[in-house]
Each structure stands twice: as structure tokens, then as C-alpha cells.
Amino acid sequence: MTATGDTDGSVTRVVRHGPRLPLGARVRCKRLFIETKASDHDAPLEDHEEDFSCPRLDDEVTLRVRGWRLRQIIDDDVIRHDRFTPARESTFVVDDARTDASSSEVCVGFEAAALTMFVGEVCGVVVPSGRGDCFEKDPIESVPRDCYVEWEIELAKIRRKARLDALASARRVLDANAVVREEANALFSRGEYSRALRRYDECATELSRVLFQAAQITDEEMYAIAKMAVTVNTNAATALAKLGRQTEVLMRCDAALEIDRTAVKAMYRKAIALESLERDEEALSCLRDALELSKDKAIREAFVRVRRRIETTRSVESKTERERCVRMMKATSEEDTTSAVQTTFVGRMTSFCRRRPFLSTTIVLAVCTVAVMCFKEADNEGADNKLE
């Protein structure tokens, strides 16, 4: 095995998603070097395809932890303290459904970083500032808040999970996805909705693929697959609702209803999502359809609740409309009163002056000028009479 140095900054990546990574957490992963077999450079790529692909969920991986570096910032200088311990190996299944996220001994930061690594790659995994545990259970004692820790880990080996091929029979697909669905249900019951959703997605994708091959399966198998597809899509919608992703809930419910128009649970879940999105009319329509197929108490309560909210909204809107009409009638009455006053000559002149002040000023000046000229002519005629 030879080490290939790599100083390219582009190999530094920030991992934001992982099977157990807390919401909003980030893990910075920087490639240090890659160990490759020097004698295999001329071998076909297909022979080493597994080595050049990252692990997938449910794969078994072996990580070799080499040690850590503590870096502290003092007066704008970075003080580096290296501490390398004998390499220890940790083998685990990525996102193992048999383990609880809180009780798992696997570092969730390492697990998330491993999903972006190749076999033989050595990376420095940087712990967020102030968190010396890298989401582990106190592997370092009393790390100061002004320090950050960088672990050096190597992806030593990947053991791929056996997956169904495209030509697998419908019965094998049903049996395999039944196991995955039970794993998802167990995760959901423990409150690990994101992990459960991933497995529901896997089931739905695999079952949809088989449904498109309807010519190759029997009617009995078709019915069983369709029933399971409706169930996993509805369960996925429930998990999405727990995560607050209501728009995606509608998509999953529609996927279930496309397979079975009488899926009451999908109708109910869709109605609740529509209600949370304040689309009450559509929610009431869904609940009405569900009530025609089932008299479940939860459906009846939701129907009454949504209908009352619609009635309340309509009552408020009606009251607002009445108040608006009263204001309009009052304004119209005031305009009529003003029009009555303006029927007189003085009122009309006053209104004209208000509407056209410049023109009215010109007219007033002209009238005054004519009056002055008339008075002057009268005075001149009086003077002429006296002279005679």
C-alpha cells in the first residue's frame, strides 16, 4: 500500500446529513491522503468498483481511528497539539436499525463522514467548536471552549449489504421489504422519524419498481404488493408529518391514493396535512370522502373541527362584509347630502371654485375688472352731465 499525498483544497467537505447526525450539526471532513495499491493501476476499473464508491446505508464498514489533534487559538495564533494513539478499529453497520441512536456506541460524526469516504482514504474529521466529543460519549476529557479537535480516521474496509437485483421475483421483494418495513416501524415507535422515513422510502421505491412489471407477476402478488405499497406510503406520510414536512405529506398520500382510491388512512392523513396548511375546504372534502368509507372517531372529530373552523371563518368574513357595506352606505348618504346643498347657485359656485381654483380665480378677476370699468364709465358720464 502506498500513500498518495493530496493537498488540493477541493477535497475538504462539510457533511450536514447523516443517519444519526443531530439536526443542524455539521462535520468538516478533510482528506489527508489515500492509500492505493501501486500494482493495480493498470487493472480494469470494474475490478475495483467497490473501492471507488462510498458506503451506502446498511453496509458494514470498518473504520481505523488513529488519533486526534487539538488546536487552540491564542492571540490569533493557532497552537497545535498532536496526540496519536495506537490505531483502533471499529466495525459497524451504517444506520443499523437494531441499535438506538442514543445508545449506539458508534460516533455519529464518524458515521456521517464515512458515507463520503472511499476505501483507503484517510481524513481529518473536525469537531464543531466547543464540542470535543465529536458526538461521542466523552472520549476526550475537558476540552476548552476555545479549542477544536480534529480526529484522523481511515476507511479500512466495506462489506456491502446483499441487495435484490432487478430480476428478483415478486415474492422475494415482498419478503425483503416486509423486513425493512418492520425495521422502520420499530424506529418510528422509538421516535427516530428520519431513520424510519429512509426505510419507508426504500420500500416504496422497490415496490413501485415491481408494480411497473405487472405483466410478470400474478394477481395475488399484485394485490399483496399494492397493499404493502399503500401501507409504506401512508407510514412515510405519518413520519413526514412528525417532522413537520406537510407539503411532502400530501405527495405521499397522493401516491398511496393513486394505488388505492379507498385508502382511508391516506385520506385522513392528507386531510390533516391540508388542515395544517390552512386549506380547510380541501381538508373537509377529504374527510367527507373518508367518512363515507369509515366511521372512525378520529375522522369524525377532525370533520367536526374543520367544519366549525370554516363556519367561524365565514361568520367573520360575513361580519366584515356587513361592516364594509354600512360604511359604503354612510359615505353614499353623506355624498347625497352634499349634493343637495350644492343644488343652489351659491353651492354650485362654491363647489366649482373648490374643484377648479385657478379657473375660478381668473373668472373672479375678470368680473372685478369689468365692474371697475363699468364704474369708471359711469363716473365719466356724470362728469360730462355736470359740464353741460
Q: HEC string of 168-191?
A: CCHHHHHHHHHHHHHHHHHHHHCC
CATH tag, 2-159: 3.10.50.40
Query: What is the pLDDT confidence band of residue 382, given thresholds at 50, 70 and 90?
Result: low
pLDDT at 73: 60
pLDDT-derived band at 47, boundaries 50, 70, 90: very low
User: What is the per-residue pLDDT for 128?
Assistant: 55
Buried b (16+ CB within 10 A) or exposed e, 265-304: bbbbbbbbbbbeeebbebbbebbebbbeeeeeeebeebbe
Going by pLDDT thresholds of 50, 70 and 90, the confidence category of residue 352 is low
Residue with cell 475490478: 47
What burial letters (b/e) apply to 310-334, b meaning 16+ CB within 10 Å? eeeeeeeeeeeeeeeeeeeeeeeee
Cite the residue boundaries of each domain of the chain with CATH code 3.10.50.40. 2-159
CA–CA separation, 260 and 228 (whole Å): 11
> With pLDDT > 90 as the criterion, what percentage of the chain qualifies?
24
Instruction: Out of 68-72, 147-151, 335-339, pick the least confident.
Output: 335-339
- Flag the least confident range among 26-30, 117-121, 334-338: 334-338
Residue 233 has pLDDT above 90, yes or no: yes
Q: Residues spanned by CATH 1.25.40.10 within the chain?
A: 170-310
Write out the CATH class of domain 170-310: mainly alpha
More confident residue, 173 or 343: 173
Q: Please say whether the dihedral angle defined by the alpha carbons of residues 252, 256, 257 and 259, taken in this order, is positive or negative.
A: positive
Which of the four pLDDT bands, split at 50, 70 and 90, describes residue 120? confident
CA dist 304 and 313 (Å) reads 14
How do beta strands 121-126 and 147-159 pair?
A: antiparallel
- Rounded distance between C-alpha atoms, residue 176 and residue 179, angstroms: 5
Q: Tell me if the pTM is above 0.85.
A: no
Angle at 352 between CA 346 and CA 356, to 5 degrees: 150
Per-residue pLDDT band for 76 (boundaries 50, 70, 90) equals low
Residues with Cβ < 8 Å from 68, sequence gap 6 or more? 83, 140, 149, 150, 151, 152
Question: Over 80: is that where the pLDDT of 299 sits?
Answer: yes
The predicted structure's pLDDT at residue 189: 92
Specify the range with the lowest mean pLDDT, choosing from 52-61, 101-110, 123-132, 156-165. 123-132
**CA separation for the pair 123, 114 (Å, rounded):** 9
Positive or negative, the Cα torsion across 13, 18, 24, 26?
Answer: negative
Average pLDDT over the chain reads 77
**CA gap 338, 331 in Å, rounded:** 11
